[in-house]
């Protein structure tokens, strides 16, 4: 059925009127509207609805819609045109607000399964380009050499400039075993590189931990899931049993952790903070204000913590780092974090579609803004890598090398029993030789422990 431009314009104007009926009710009294925490229509929201819609822009919209229907080079379904209009409204707001079609909406709902088929990296949009926030641990992307800060210029020869985040994710996901070629521009490089990657099932095992040295534990969080806090708690308890005494320090590695669910970050922080605010959110309306506080109990009994962050640490990672830093519960070490401090809310539009809309910002307990600023470490260290070299000439001579040297005193059996063996730590020790930041964090914890012993001895 053909609709004239005049009728189409009138129809869309009526539709807008029905959707935003308070606009046309000039005598609406917003003071008489009752505030209800369970309803989106608070007084502030009603006041925003009372703002007159720009009729001239609505007319431009209907003109554009009509021209596209009649004169575009190919015949496009009206539904597709209007859906693209919705996508445009959202993509123009910020990099994280987006339209979720039936496939994307289903993926969001199924996200709690902790696995998907794809390349295994968190991506965002910067200056209309797709940018890698961080690759997931042991993912095809990480194995192929994808790094945080890389720009994805093409996906299977399709340019990504101006491409929506959802569209880029759809192109990169696919059936297990299929390959994809992406054109990458590494940070600091001037020459793009084509990388072919085979898609795999990406299983998000979010917590890994082990003893670095006797008394000192290391925990790596690759993402924040609903089970992350319980998994970390159980693993710390297991490490303490293996250590056969309470831990004297923990390194919490949040590098290249893109985030996850808010409650996961709150629960992780709560493991180490006894009381007080962990994080709060604030947006335009009262319904967006949420405060999350700690409960009594510290799983490490106040043992020192060093949190490692870099520019790939985002969102939930920044909530944890910010909370522990503000409460002076941990020393933050590394690079300034990514700065993704906004809250996205999934708002269903139908049974199969929804919009993901930025509705608030995160704030640390002291009120610091995370969005576009990130967490500044207490100790800033760049992403250096250690390279152990061996000299061809070893001219150093020790006392033990001298002929006729005196032997050292024999260690009593009591002293031997008091020493803890490093024989099971060879694997992680080799990691310390190449990971400069991890090595520095361990040295810091050991220094704090030595200083604490000296103070007790005085």
Cα(110)–Cα(265) distance, integer angstroms: 20
What residues have CB less than 8 Å from 299, skipping those under 6 apart? Answer: 233, 236, 237, 271, 272
Evaluate whether 224 touches 195 at the Cβ level (below 8 Å): no
Catalytic positions are 315, 326, 340
Question: 228-243 vs 262-270: helix axis angle to the nearest 10?
Answer: 30
Per-residue pLDDT of the chain (458 residues; tens, 9 = 90+): 455 656 555 566 555 554 444 333 333 222 222 333 344 445 555 666 567 888 899 889 999 999 999 999 999 999 999 999 999 999 999 999 999 998 888 777 655 456 678 999 889 888 889 999 889 888 999 999 999 899 999 999 999 999 988 889 989 988 999 999 999 999 889 999 999 999 998 876 689 999 999 999 999 998 888 889 999 999 999 999 999 999 999 999 999 999 988 999 999 999 999 999 999 999 998 888 999 999 999 999 999 999 999 999 999 999 999 999 999 999 999 999 999 999 988 899 999 999 999 999 999 999 999 999 999 999 999 877 777 666 555 556 788 778 777 877 665 554 444 445 555 555 555 678 789 999 999 999 999 999 998 887 76
| Tokens describing residue 452 | 């604490």
Question: What's the angle, vertex CA 8, arms to CA 3 and CA 11, rounded to 5?
Answer: 120
CA 154 – CA 151 distance, rounded (Å): 9
Which residue from 220, 311, 256 is spatially nearest to 134, judged by alpha carbons?
256
Write down all domains in the chain, each with its CATH number in brackets: 5-76 (no CATH), 115-203 (2.30.42.10), 207-345+358-380 (3.90.226.10)
Instruction: Return the closest-CA partner of residue 67 out of 3, 5, 152, 1.
Output: 5
Strands (E), 214-351: 216-221, 249-253, 277-283, 290-293, 305-309, 331-334, 342-348
Q: Please state the pTM of the whole predicted model.
A: 0.73
Q: Extract the tokens encoding 116.
A: 């998907």
pLDDT of residue 382: 87
Yes or no: say if 217 and 253 are a contact pair by the CB < 8 Å rule.
Answer: no
């Amino acid at each position: 059925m053909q609709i004239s431009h005049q009728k189409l314009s009138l129809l869309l104007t009526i539709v807008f009127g029905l959707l935003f009926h308070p606009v046309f009710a000039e005598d609406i009294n917003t003071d008489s509207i009752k505030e209800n925490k369970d309803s989106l229509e608070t007084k502030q929201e009603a006041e925003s609805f009372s703002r007159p819609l720009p009729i001239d822009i609505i007319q431009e919209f209907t003109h554009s819609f009509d021209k596209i229907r009649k004169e575009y080079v190919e015949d496009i379904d009206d539904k597709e045109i209007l859906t693209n209009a919705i996508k445009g409204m959202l993509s123009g707001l910020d990099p994280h607000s987006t339209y979720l079609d039936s496939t994307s909406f289903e993926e969001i709902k199924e996200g709690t399964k902790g696995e998907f088929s794809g390349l295994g990296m968190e991506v965002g949009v910067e200056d209309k380009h797709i940018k890698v926030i961080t690759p997931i641990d042991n993912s095809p992307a990480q194995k192929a050499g994808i790094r945080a800060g890389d720009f994805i210029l093409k996906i299977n020869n399709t340019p990504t400039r101006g491409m929506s985040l959802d569209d880029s994710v759809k192109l990169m996901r696919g059936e297990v075993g299929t390959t994809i070629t992406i054109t990458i521009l590494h940070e600091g490089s001037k020459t793009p590189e084509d990388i072919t990657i085979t898609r795999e099932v990406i299983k998000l095992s979010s917590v890994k931990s082990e003893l670095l040295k006797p008394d000192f534990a290391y925990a790596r969080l690759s993402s924040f899931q609903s089970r992350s806090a319980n998994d970390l708690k159980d693993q710390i308890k297991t490490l303490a049993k293996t250590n056969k005494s309470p831990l004297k320090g923990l390194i919490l590695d949040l590098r290249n952790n893109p985030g996850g669910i808010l409650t996961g970050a709150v629960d992780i922080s709560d493991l180490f903070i006894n009381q007080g605010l962990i994080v709060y959110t604030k947006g335009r309306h009262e319904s967006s204000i949420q405060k999350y506080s700690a409960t009594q109990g510290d799983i490490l009994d106040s043992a020192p913590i060093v949190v490692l962050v870099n520019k790939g640490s985002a969102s939930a990672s920044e909530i944890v780092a910010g909370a522990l830093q503000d409460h002076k519960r941990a020393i933050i070490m590394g690079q300034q974090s990514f700065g993704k401090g906004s809250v996205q809310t999934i708002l269903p539009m139908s049974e199969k579609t929804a919009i993901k809309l930025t509705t608030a910002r995160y704030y640390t307990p002291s009120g610091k803004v995370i969005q576009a600023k990130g967490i500044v470490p207490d100790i800033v260290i760049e992403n250096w890598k250690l390279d152990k070299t061996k000299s061809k000439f070893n001219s150093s001579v020790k006392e033990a090398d001298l002929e006729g040297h005196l032997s050292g005193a024999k260690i009593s059996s009591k002293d031997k029993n008091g020493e803890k063996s490093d024989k099971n730590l060879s694997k992680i020790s080799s990691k310390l030789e190449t990971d400069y930041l991890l090595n520095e964090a361990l040295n810091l914890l050991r220094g704090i422990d030595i200083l604490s012993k000296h103070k007790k001895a005085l």
